Structure 1
Amino acid sequence: MYTPRHFAEDDLAALDRLAVAHPFATLITLADGAPFVSHVPVLYRRDEHGIEFRGHWSRANPQWRHGGDATLILHGPSAYVSPSWYPDKESAARVPTWNYAVAHLGGVLETFEDDAGLAAIVADLSDHFEATVGSEWRFEFEREDHRKQLRGIVGFRLRPTRVELKFKLNQNHPPINGHRVAEALATGSDDAREIAALMRERLAPPAQET
């Protein structure tokens, strides 16, 4: 990923936040020399043992047979930035841009097909995401009609050995530009407001007029 030094993020707490808020990932492998892409929800964990992502495919998806190296992309918030928001728009001949946060995670993809592992990922995914919609549905392993559904999926685990975080948030601009952009974005969409919050966390408080 092309990442100018201004936009490189090395704090893994930023990855924690991105993975929790944006768990629908893009998973890329190679098949016969060409990229193959799936879009999947993932569960994230980071502790003293490292970083781990878990998820599953439909067994009909051929990606589970690829094995080897893979890249998982987390797409964070993004928002259009108008040059009209910059105080120096005329003197610096500013142009439109797009602010965003993304993570690229690379490593060897592991697959699993055992009932215990598959039941765990289905149960963990449903427990996590059902809670976000206020539902109490649960995967019940003791039920044959639930358990037989496991035959239709294959699980995966990715323990990244490469972590790239890019948070493009106007860090290459004078701080006043960042403050004005954040102010404009704070009244926009959910993504725009999230970008505004990320920008403000990285900006010093604006200078007080005297």
Structure 2
Amino acid sequence: MSSSTIQNQVPFSVLFFHLPLFSLPPPVFGSTCFVHDLTPRKDKLAPRALKCIFLGYSRMQKGYRCYSPNLQRFLMSADVTFFETQLYFTGPVNHLDIFEVLPVPSFGDSVLISYSSSSITPPPTVPVAAPSPIAPVPPPSPVRPPSPVPPTIAPVPPPSPVQPSTAPPLLTYHRRPRPASGPADSCPAPDPANTGDLSPLNQPIAL
């Protein structure tokens, strides 16, 4: 039990704070549950579970306390399957909300048809316009291949005329005639007047 000295907590929660308070997870009260029936001598087609109502936990033993309206008695078991989103006792079924219980599959963009108890109104017919004739498409004109362009050759410039090289004028040399020879044993004496006009190569050499 909880105590005011420990801030209204259970001693088990204070001593073992890392452990859950309940060994069994707490399901929703009044939800539908199925208690597994382990009674022997059952054939293969006999039901293996009993549909019951979850009421709470037992103070004497570990397990869930359930009630079976068919058997009209309380059952205690730890092997129970819960459907917490489904309550055992539900209100009367509203026939106007039948589409919420059983959703109708939709087939694309269908037209919603309203039904009345007296007569059925057919859906309005929508006139369909006749498709306009399609103009014939002329065949594409054949594409001519581009004409080959002849390669352009750059003209070669003519060779420039070779001008004759101007050679230096030839120098003509004249040799002076030799004087008439005299007797073999006598040598003519050189003329001192003409010696000065001779070049060094034409001057006489004394032996």
Q: How would you bin the TM-score normalised by the shorter chain?
A: under 0.3
Larger Rg: 2
- Give me the TM-score of the superposition, normalised by structure 1: 0.17
Q: Which has the higher strand share?
A: 1
Q: Which has the higher helix share?
A: 1
- Give me the TM-score of the superposition, normalised by structure 2: 0.18
